[in-house]
Each structure stands twice: as C-alpha cells, then as structure tokens.
Amino acid sequence: MMMDNISLITAFVMFSFACSDLSILSVMAYDRYLAICRPLRYHRYMNKLRLSLLVCFSWLIPFSFHAVLITLTSRLTLCSAQIQRLYCVNWVIVLLACPTNNTTPSSIVVYITVVVYVFHGLLIIWSYIYLVRTCRGSIENRKKFMQTCVPHLTCMLTFMSTVVFDIMYMHFGSKDIAQSLKNLISMVFMIISPIMNPLIYGFKLTKVRNKILFYLHV
C-alpha cells in the first residue's frame, strides 16, 4: 500500500512550515543582536543583499530537506493507512511502513535536519546571551530590548512550546485518548503559532493596535 499524494503534501507543508519558522526566528535573533550589540556595523552586515539571502535560505533549506525526505517516504510500502491525527506528519507515515522497507536513508536525512536546526537554536541562545549582557548596563538598550526582543521572545516561546507539545504527544501520547481530543491537540500546533505571530507584531503598529482596541471596546 502506498501513501496518497495529499497526505505527502500535507506532511511536506507542515514540516516545512515548522522548520522555516525556526529559521526565520534565528535570523530575527541575529538581526536584533547586530542592531543592539553592534549598531555601528549593522548596515554593513545587514545590507539588502545579505538580508535577501538569509530570507531565501530560511525557506529554501527546509524545503530542500523535506523535499528529499518526502521523496524517500513516498517510496515506502505501508502496512496500514490509518493515521490517528488531524493531519499527516512524516514520522507517523514512516511508522506505518512495513518492516521489509529500508528506512535508513530517511533516518539519515532526519538526523542531518535535526543537527542543522539544533545549530539554529544555538544561534538564538548565543544571540540572546550577548543581548542580555549588552542591555544589562544601559537604560537605552533595555528599552530597545523591551521594544524589539520581547515580541520576538514571545513568538519564539509560543512556537517552541507548541512544537515540543506536539512532538511529545506524537511520541508518548496515549492511544486511548478520544479522537476529538486528538484532533484538538493537533490543532494547537496548526493554529496558535500562526495566529500569535501576526497578532504580536501587528499589535506594535499603531493603526493595527487602534483597530484591535476599537473592536474589543465595541
């Protein structure tokens, strides 16, 4: 039994979204590090060409990794087509593969992907270590930190919380949970992070904030 194309496309989109989001968050962390810790060199390092390359790589790298991963997964023969989730993810599809399949190539790509995005996480941690050290002794830098870094940290923590929650449920979740609750848990990852990012950054813009406050008041 082979997995249908819609399931594979869904798995590709979900994984690419998660990894590209982390890539963009790491680029934003590096941008804030340069803006606050190296303000005189900011325009030298963050010119239009370099910024365009960073944004392109933030999308191209996860797309490339997961295009290879989904291609390898599509060749697997499945012993079952029943997925107890609202949407497909590659790990769940691989678990349905028959024992006769060779999943070593997929595992290698997954390990490489994990290493790459661990480095993304280390870049974010490294950036914030220097940001905290720089902002600690300056009132002006602390204001900059509150204005630019707190929204980024909020988005990052929201994203990481939903990802970790989804991964923990996927690996350790009980099979006895009701299907409606499984769907609700799956929707946490799909809804919270995509909604929170535009809300947090949109709320910083005066016109958007005034509109939101107006509708809340009404």
pTM: 0.79
Task: Give the residue among 35, 94, 87 at the shortest CA–CA distance from 70.
Answer: 94
The pLDDT of residue 201 is above 60: yes
Q: In the predicted model, what is the mean pLDDT of residues 67-84?
A: 78
State the CB neighbour count (10 A cutoff) for residue 76.
20
pLDDT at 76: 76
Q: In the predicted model, what is the mean pLDDT of residues 114-132?
A: 88
**Between these two residues, 195 and 178, which has the higher pLDDT value?**
195
Please state, in angstroms and as integers, the Cα–Cα distance from residue 217 to each residue in 2, 23, 163, 211, following that order: 53, 37, 33, 10
Least trusted range by pLDDT, from 60-69, 81-90, 131-140, 155-164: 81-90
**Between these two residues, 159 and 95, which has the higher pLDDT value?**
159
Least trusted range by pLDDT, from 104-113, 172-181, 197-206: 172-181
Residues 31, 162: contact at Cβ < 8 Å?
A: no
**What whole-number percentage of the chain has pLDDT above 90?**
0
**What whole-number percentage of the chain has pLDDT above 70?**
80
The pLDDT of residue 203 is above 70: no
pLDDT at 151: 80
pLDDT at 89: 76
State the CB neighbour count (10 A cutoff) for residue 96.
16
CA atoms within 13 A on the CB side of 175: 2
Instruction: Give the model's confidence band at 209: pLDDT under 50 very low, under 70 low, under 90 confident, else very high.
Output: low
140-176: b (≥16 Cβ within 10 Å) or e: ebeebbeebbebbbebbebbbebbeebeebbeeeeee
